[in-house]
Structure 1
Amino acid sequence: MSVAEPRRIVLFRHAKADWPQVSDHERPLADRGRKEAAEAGRRLADTGIPFDLALCSTATRTRETWKLAVQEFPQRPKTVYEERIYEASPGELIAVLNETPDDLHNVLVIGHNPGMQGLADVLAGSAEDEARELMGRRGFPAAAFAVLTFTGTWKDVEPGAASLVDYWVPTD
């Protein structure tokens, strides 16, 4: 693949979590979250993006979200559970993305807010008007995802380097 061909980063926030008496890292999905995760998985599959890699936080709610969402995919991408995604800042998430091998084209990141929205905001040097307006109005609620494109190598992922081309939130 040429580095001039567009690459895609999809930022996917975990679905609605429950609040039992466990550590934040171990919080599971709520009933609503399980439904949202499957719905988001169907919508991600509908994009037709052939994911090469899924980078998932090690938190229980992100792993559960991914397990339910990926069942809707026609083909399961390689999955790496990455502890650095939990509570990561946009800069820390960029550092993780910069390590992606250049033979990979489409990467899905399953993580948390405020990191997911912050990274979408930081990377999006440009945006489809509808996607930017919707994300600005809705924020980045549970189970939302943003699709960004960029050209170059994964080491070229930096603030302003991408374009926000799609944004989705679950139905209320």
Structure 2
Amino acid sequence: MKTLTLLRHAKSSWDDPVARDFDRPLNAKGRRAAAMIGRQLKSLDFKFDHILASPAVRVMETLDEVWNGYGRRLEPVWDKAMYLASGASLLDLVHALPEDADHVLMVGHNPGLEDLTLDLTLDGELRERAEDKYPTATVAQMTLPITRWAEAQSNSATLIAFIRPRDLDPTLGPDTP
């Protein structure tokens, strides 16, 4: 059995004048949400033995805040292939994960993370929530009935957690006009 956890980067700032999308930082709400998600991961005793992350600034800053909340810094493998990757490309990265890693965290972007979640998981209430909306700083954790990552396939995983920042603190939900 393998466990795959997907974390979408936190809310980024569109007000910051950067030359490239890749360099866009988090906004204040995103920083709060990421730290809260880190605290939740710790309280639920989520553990990771391998982390694969996009090197985009907003992902790096998300992880900094998550680790602040988690209380422990874990070092990811930074992979440019994760930057704005499609669900199919992310599945290729899953297939290439180290076999000795049983609990993997992947941190990146939508729509790829949402597409990968929906592709891998079986129907159920949590999957319906993910299908409805996969907001920034949201965590989806699934178990896969496999012994090797290369065996991961569509409609085989069980989504066991889907945690949105607004579920933990309503002020972290969508902005209201």
Same fold, TM exceeding 0.5?
Answer: yes
Answering whether residue 137 of structure 2 is matched by residue 143 of structure 1, we say yes
CA distance in 2 between partners of 1:76 and 1:31 (Å)? 21
Q: Which amino acid aligns with 2:56?
A: A
Answering whether residue 150 of structure 2 is matched by residue 158 of structure 1, we say no
In the alignment, what sits opposite 1:21? 17
Give the CA deviation at 1:43.
1.3
What runs of 5+ residues in structure 1 fail to find an aligned partner?
1-5
- Higher fraction of strand: 1
CA distance in 2 between partners of 1:143 and 1:74 (Å)? 17
For residue 122 of structure 2, give the secondary structure of its aligned residue in structure 1.
Answer: strand
For residue 55 of structure 1, give the secondary structure of its aligned residue in structure 2.
Answer: strand
CA distance in 2 between partners of 1:47 and 1:108 (Å)? 15
Answering whether residue 6 of structure 2 is matched by residue 11 of structure 1, we say yes
Q: 1:46 aligns with which of 43, 46, 56?
A: 43
Q: Which portions of structure 1, spanning 4 or more consecutive aligned residues, are displaced by more than 2 angstroms? A: 71-78, 132-137
Answering whether residue 114 of structure 2 is matched by residue 117 of structure 1, we say yes
Give the CA deviation at 1:135.
2.2
Two-structure CA RMSD over aligned residues (Å): 1.4
**TM-score (norm. length: structure 2):** 0.87
Instruction: Give 1:67-82 correspondences, 5 Å limit.
Output: 67-73=64-70, 75-82=72-79
Residues 8 and 105 in structure 1, CA contact (< 8 A), matched pair in contact too: yes
